[in-house]
């Protein structure tokens, strides 16, 4: 289990264990607090923790085509942690075979396999398949090249996006896929995130219509994407949240825990009084800190 730096008073910790339905341990440490938070998440949203094979099959599937093991490792680990089904191909023959077997929402294609002609050939192959259009498969080319002619040819052959292999290229891919997923579901206006400070790894998220269950799911995905991209300090702006249900509370608890796992904080701002009353009970008398506005929350990092 990952080490979590969660600072709670004795009263707050005892209240947490009570809410989670657990006995207060003789020694309260980060691990026991983390376990209590997990139990509280389960109580608030039990369906979240019972995932059947049918439910798991709805997670977007991604084919990663690359001949560098370090790239495969970085991408597959990051995408798997973010809830995607990941499949690997290390050469053109494997890629062609894998593409025949399954339906993919996304293909991440390294251009040089080892030559650019190999990547371009796969682009032709994928876009010639009828299921590519039927599934609306997005093909994202990744490469370190700055050859404008090559990049242009990728788009001519049907690439949906070209992402340069910069120092944080795999995290840029994760954020790009997250945006595409949100647009695909039509939820892109409900949960809007912004990178506020790259050096301090601070991001903000504005939430609308939080009472709808799918918005809670979108917020959960957005927090997970930001955390897996290295942004452990997150401010959730709740100015447009007029009420909150148990699913929403569970999402905030999960986000609070995820940020803490990375040594960061999840903060709230612009919380209405009716919502604040609910949160102050569940979040142990403001163990989750609530700020008057976004500016004051940002200043706390």
Give the number of other Cβ atoms within 10 Å of residue 233's Cβ. Answer: 24
Q: How far apart are CA 162 and CA 120, in angstroms?
A: 13
The domain in which residue 282 lies consists of: 10-44+186-299
pLDDT at 45: 54
Whether 286 and 200 map to the same domain: the answer is yes
Task: Mark which of 183, 204, 220 sits at the end of a domain.
Answer: 183
Q: Express each pLDDT in 161-203 by its tens digit.
A: 999 988 888 888 988 888 888 777 665 568 888 999 989 999 9
Whether 88 and 116 map to the same domain: the answer is yes
* Dihedral sign of CA atoms 94, 96, 101, 107 in order: positive
Q: Tell me the CATH number at 222.
A: 3.30.750.24
pLDDT at 49: 42
User: How many residues make up the chain in this entry?
Assistant: 301
pLDDT band at 159 (very low <50, low <70, confident <90, very high): very high
Whether 93 and 119 map to the same domain: the answer is yes
Q: Express each pLDDT in 4-61 by its tens digit.
A: 445 567 777 777 787 778 888 888 887 787 778 777 766 655 444 444 333 334 578 9
Whether 157 and 215 map to the same domain: the answer is no
| pTM summary value | 0.68
Q: How far, in Å, are 111, 114, 129, 235 from residue 118 at the CA level? A: 7, 7, 17, 44
Q: Are 141 and 163 in contact (CB under 8 A)?
A: yes
Task: Mark which of 183, 216, 241 sits at the end of a domain.
Answer: 183
Number of domains the chain is built from: 2
Whether 105 and 174 map to the same domain: the answer is yes
Whether the per-residue pLDDT at 90 is higher than 80: the answer is: yes
Helix (H, G, I), strand (E, B) or coil at 80: helix
Whether 205 and 114 map to the same domain: the answer is no
Whether 176 and 63 map to the same domain: the answer is yes
């Amino acid at each position: 289990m990952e080490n979590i730096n969660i600072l709670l008073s004795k009263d707050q910790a005892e209240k947490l264990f009570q809410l989670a339905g657990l006995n207060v341990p003789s020694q309260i440490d980060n691990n026991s607090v983390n376990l209590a938070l997990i139990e509280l998440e389960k109580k608030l949203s039990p369906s979240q923790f019972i995932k059947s094979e049918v439910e798991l099959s709805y997670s977007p599937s991604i084919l990663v085509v690359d001949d560098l093991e370090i790239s495969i490792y970085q991408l597959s680990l990051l995408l798997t942690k973010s809830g995607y089904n990941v499949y690997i191909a290390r050469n053109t023959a494997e890629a062609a075979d894998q593409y025949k077997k399954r339906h993919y929402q996304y293909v991440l294609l390294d251009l040089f396999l080892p030559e650019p002609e190999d990547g371009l050939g796969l682009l032709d192959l994928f876009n010639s398949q009828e299921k590519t259009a039927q599934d609306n498969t997005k093909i994202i080319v990744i490469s370190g090249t700055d050859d404008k002619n090559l990049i242009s040819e990728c788009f001519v052959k049907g690439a949906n996006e070209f992402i340069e292999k910069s120092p944080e290229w795999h995290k840029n891919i994760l954020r790009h896929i997250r945006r595409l997923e949100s647009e695909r579901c039509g939820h892109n206006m409900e949960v809007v995130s912004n990178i506020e400070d790259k050096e301090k790894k601070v991001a903000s998220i504005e939430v609308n219509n939080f009472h709808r269950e799918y918005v809670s799911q979108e917020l959960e995905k957005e927090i997970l994407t930001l955390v897996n991209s290295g942004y452990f300090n997150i401010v959730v702006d709740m100015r447009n949240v007029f009420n909150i249900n148990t699913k929403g509370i569970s999402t905030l608890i999960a986000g609070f825990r995820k940020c803490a796992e990375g040594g960061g904080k999840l903060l709230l701002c612009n919380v209405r009084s009716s919502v604040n009353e609910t949160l102050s009970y569940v979040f142990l008398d403001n163990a989750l800190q609530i700020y008057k506005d976004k500016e004051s929350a940002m200043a706390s990092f």
